[in-house]
């Protein structure tokens, strides 16, 4: 068994989703590749990258965005383009608006589309959609290389937030349907009991409840938090752990300290004491952790990732 997979511990539910979180620049894509490659020896694995910088495209020379590229019989990779996904969503919204409100076609519907496109929360909505797809996947493992931490953490709270809104909308819609039925009965007319909008709200509530449940289930999802031995990434790692344990009531399964310098190199650069302090900090958090020695160059290929496997030290809790 690969050391970094051994650190994850037993996995009980399939598909199992591994979310790799961390500050931009700490090597989330590299760690995601490392995990996906190791997991692919145990089952069919998909690596989905939502990294806005699209490092996966550069590292592996992918020809297209949004397509599943076969790397081996058990390893597939997909780079998601946030920009293309936003175009797809806004296009669907535009068509829906035209269908529901034909009069808008007379107006400048592009203004409406732009309002959707640049609205806060669009990136979070796309990430949520991709997470939903991952939990319904036919793959044994799905590794998700997430966007920067803030976007990801906000996304993880969306299902519970949406459920609050859906509950209110259902209450309002039920009153409307009830009133419409009562009026029709008084007037001696036939009333349609089944309401399409209400049916859709019930479906959304069911889907969101399920997603909310699996995001909080250690059997369904593993949270892997990545940092490097520097002040800001370590601070963000601590904040991420606090969020997961406080808001989602779930512990990360694995902490990864990436780009750890060899002692002689750290000593020469004057960062030896700081690195030792962070090494001790990450090992004392009551969670399994993995330390990955710096490769000495940027990680640019699966060959580099395979080389990194020999540089992983695991400390199981």
Q: Is residue 265 part of a domain?
A: yes
**Is 255 a residue whose pLDDT tops 90?**
yes
* HSE (side-chain half, CA atoms, 13 Å) at 137: 28
Domain enclosing residue 122, as ranges: 3-87+116-156+216-307
Total domains present in the chain:
1
Residue 108: per-residue pLDDT: 58
Q: Position of tokens 């994850």?
A: 8
Q: Is residue 37 part of a domain?
A: yes
Q: Is residue 297 part of a domain?
A: yes
Digit-coded pLDDT (tens) for 53-103: 777 777 777 666 667 888 899 999 888 877 777 777 766 666 655 655 555
Residue 9: per-residue pLDDT: 77
Listed range (25-29, 54-58, 169-173) with the worst mean pLDDT: 54-58
- The pTM for the full model equals 0.86
Q: Which pLDDT band holds residue 114 (cuts at 50, 70, 90)?
A: low
Look at 119 and 206; give whichever has higher pLDDT. Answer: 206
CATH number of the domain bearing residue 126: 3.40.50.300
**Is 186 a residue whose pLDDT tops 90?**
no
Mean pLDDT of the chain: 84
Percent pLDDT > 90 in the chain is 42
**Is 116 a residue whose pLDDT tops 80?**
no
Residue 102: per-residue pLDDT: 57
Q: Is residue 101 part of a domain?
A: no
Look at 145 and 68; give whichever has higher pLDDT. Answer: 145
Q: Is residue 251 part of a domain?
A: yes
Percent pLDDT > 70 in the chain is 86
Q: Is residue 104 part of a domain?
A: no
Q: At what angle do helices 109-117 and 82-100 cross, to 10 degrees?
A: 140
Residue 225: per-residue pLDDT: 97
């Amino acid at each position: 068994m690969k050391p970094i997979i051994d650190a994850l511990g037993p996995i009980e539910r399939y598909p199992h989703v591994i979310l790799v979180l961390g500050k931009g620049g700490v090597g989330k894509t590299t760690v995601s590749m490392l995990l996906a490659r190791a997991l692919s020896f145990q089952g069919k694995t998909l690596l989905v990258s939502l990294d806005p910088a699209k490092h996966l495209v550069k590292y592996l020379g992918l020809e297209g965005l949004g397509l599943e590229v076969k790397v081996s019989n058990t390893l597939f990779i997909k780079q998601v383009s946030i920009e293309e996904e936003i175009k797809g969503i806004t296009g669907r919204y535009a068509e829906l608006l035209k269908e529901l409100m034909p009069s808008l076609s007379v107006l400048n519907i592009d203004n409406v589309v732009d309002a959707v496109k640049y609205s806060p929360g669009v990136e979070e909505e796309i990430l949520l959609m991709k997470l939903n797809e991952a939990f319904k996947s036919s793959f044994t493992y799905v590794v998700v290389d997430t966007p920067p931490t803030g976007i990801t953490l906000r996304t993880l709270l969306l299902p519970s937030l949406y459920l609050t809104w859906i509950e209110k909308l259902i209450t309002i819609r039920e009153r409307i349907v009830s009133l419409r039925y009562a009026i029709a009965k008084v007037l001696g007319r036939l009333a349609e009991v089944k309401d399409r909008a209400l049916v859709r709200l019930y479906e959304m509530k069911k889907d969101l409840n399920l997603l909310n449940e699996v995001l909080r289930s250690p059997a369904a999802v593993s949270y892997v938090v990545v940092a490097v031995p520097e002040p800001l990434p370590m601070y963000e790692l601590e904040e991420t752990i606090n969020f997961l344990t406080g808001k989602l009531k779930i512990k990360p399964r694995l902490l990864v300290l990436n780009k750890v310098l060899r002692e002689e190199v750290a000593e020469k650069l004057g960062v030896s004491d700081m690195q030792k302090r962070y090494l001790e900090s990450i090992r004392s958090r009551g969670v399994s952790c993995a330390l990955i020695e710096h490769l000495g160059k940027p990680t640019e290929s699966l060959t580099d990732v395979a080389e990194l496997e020999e540089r992983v030290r695991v400390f199981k809790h």
